[in-house]
Structure 1
Amino acid sequence: MAIEAVIWDFGGVFTTSPFEAFRRFEARRGLPADFIRAVNATDPDTNAWALFERSEIDAAGFDAMFLEESTRLGHPLAGAEVLPLLSGDIRPRVVAALKACKARFKVGCITNNVAAGHGTGMSGSAEKAAAVAEIIGAFEVVLESSKVGVRKPDPRIYLMMCEALKVAPGSCVYLDDLGVNCKPAAALGMTAIKVSTEAQALEDLAAATGLAF
């Protein structure tokens, strides 16, 4: 089936991965490597991250619940200390690729985010939020987990995007920096691209779309 739409994750695709910020923070604090990711991966559909990204708890609730979860894993860490780490640096080449795709295909964004920070990309500053807003404005449809109450990897949010764009899953390319989020997209028939590096993502996107970036 011919490609009709390119659907994008935001954090870790248009911005550098928050995992890099997590690792720097862990090193500074003397925490085990990938400790924050380990907390996030424990009870992944019902933990503090999941509830916050579906707006089932607020920032204060996330702060307290994340502290409880991290304490159970041996290293007390308040959620409020983690939230500022979510804002990455924008990748201009990926933004340029979005613009090229928009000229040829429908484009949408599915992002797991929280009702905190400045704007959709959970930016750490109002200045960065303005840059994020410009990117977000290029999409025909944006689905934010904190607004729709469904988060990846729930297949429903991918189908919601397809319905909004009026395309079949098999005619879509999907990009995400998390394999767990790529799996349901692929299972629905999308061409899923796991973003490991900027160069790799653009190479794979070029192969999938026939465009040059």
Structure 2
Amino acid sequence: MTYTTVIFDFGGVITASPFEAFNRLEEERGLPRDFVRRVNAADPDNNAWAKFERAEIDAAAFDSLFAEEARALGHELEGEAVLAVIAGAVRPAMVAALDTLKERGVTIACITNNVPGGKMGIRGAGMKRSPEAAIEVADIMARFAHVIESSKAGVRKPDPRIYEMMCEALGVEPAECIYLDDLGINCKPASQLGMHAIKVTSGDQALADLSAALKIALP
């Protein structure tokens, strides 16, 4: 199969995984490791994260609702504290790969679950970044032929509709696409639609798998 299009998640793919920051926060607060992930996994379609990423609630409501969900699991943690740590560091090799793909005529795009007000959330492009970092993220996003943000589209991964929306916007079939995400739950619907899905566990692994699928040498 000849792939014409590569669709990227942002957080955990273009940037380092926010879960590393969550683990540091948990250690600082004396919370069980991966507690934030436990909260986020509970009722995944209707919890605080899901509602925030669909722009159904604002930041203040997220703060209190997340705290309630954390409390229900036996610990105190406000949503605001989680939002404050989730911006991951950009992976330079991945950005270089974007440029290589464009030079080789491959269409690149991005699907990101984010939160309202231009602030990218748990799976997105950044939260509470410095002005310099915000400019860096904007520069990266400008490379994509099309970007779908959950808070603007009103639908979030892993809903299959968001992948279908991207294919329609680009005028491609799913079988022409490679999709990269650091969450298996988000890779599954892409694969079921016919995309070649790559679950990202590290920057090096992602680039190696993408190079093999495209038969293009990447940084």
Given the two structures, how large is their TM-score scaled by the length of structure 2? 0.94
1:80 to 2:80 alignment:
yes
- Of the three residues 131, 136, 145, the one matched with 2:141 is 136
- Cα gap change, 1:198 to 1:162, in 2 (>3 Å): same
1:121 to 2:122 alignment:
no
1:89-128 alignment, distance < 5 Å: 89-103=89-103, 104-115=105-116, 118=119, 121-123=125-127, 124-128=129-133
CA RMSD of aligned residues (A): 1.2
Compute the displacement of 1:101 (Å).
Answer: 1.3
CA deviations over 1:34-92 (Å, ceiling 9, x no partner): 00000000000000000000000000010010010000000011100100121010100
CA distance in 1, matches of 2:181, 2:27: 26
Q: Is the 8 A contact 2:88 2:126 kept in 1?
A: no
CA deviations over 1:5-54 (Å, ceiling 9, x no partner): 00000000111100000001101110000000000000000000000000
- Cα gap change, 1:118 to 1:53, in 2 (>3 Å): closer
CA distance in 1, matches of 2:22, 2:162: 26
Compute the displacement of 1:121 (Å).
Answer: 1.4
CA distance in 1, matches of 2:193, 2:160: 8
1:177 alignment counterpart:
182
**What secondary structure sits across from 2:178 in the alignment?**
strand
Structure 2 residue identity aligned to 1:174: Y
Q: Is the 8 A contact 2:116 2:151 kept in 1?
A: yes
Compute the displacement of 1:118 (Å).
Answer: 4.9
Structure 1 residue identity aligned to 2:166: M
- Of the three residues 168, 174, 179, the one matched with 2:173 is 168
2:217 alignment counterpart:
212
Structure 2 residue identity aligned to 1:162: C
1:196 alignment counterpart:
201
Structure 1 residue identity aligned to 2:198: I
1:32 to 2:32 alignment:
yes
Mind listing any 5+ residue stretches in structure 1 that lack a counterpart? Answer: none
Structure 2 residue identity aligned to 1:69: E
CA distance in 1, matches of 2:42, 2:119: 27
Compute the displacement of 1:122 (Å).
Answer: 2.4
Q: Is the 8 A contact 1:13 1:177 kept in 2?
A: yes
Structure 2 residue identity aligned to 1:206: S
Q: Is the 8 A contact 2:2 2:214 kept in 1?
A: no
**What secondary structure sits across from 1:131 in the alignment?**
helix
Compute the displacement of 1:117 (Å).
Answer: 6.9
Matched residue count: 213
- Cα gap change, 1:26 to 1:117, in 2 (>3 Å): farther
Compute the displacement of 1:147 (Å).
Answer: 0.6
Mind listing any 5+ residue stretches in structure 2 that lack a counterpart? Answer: none
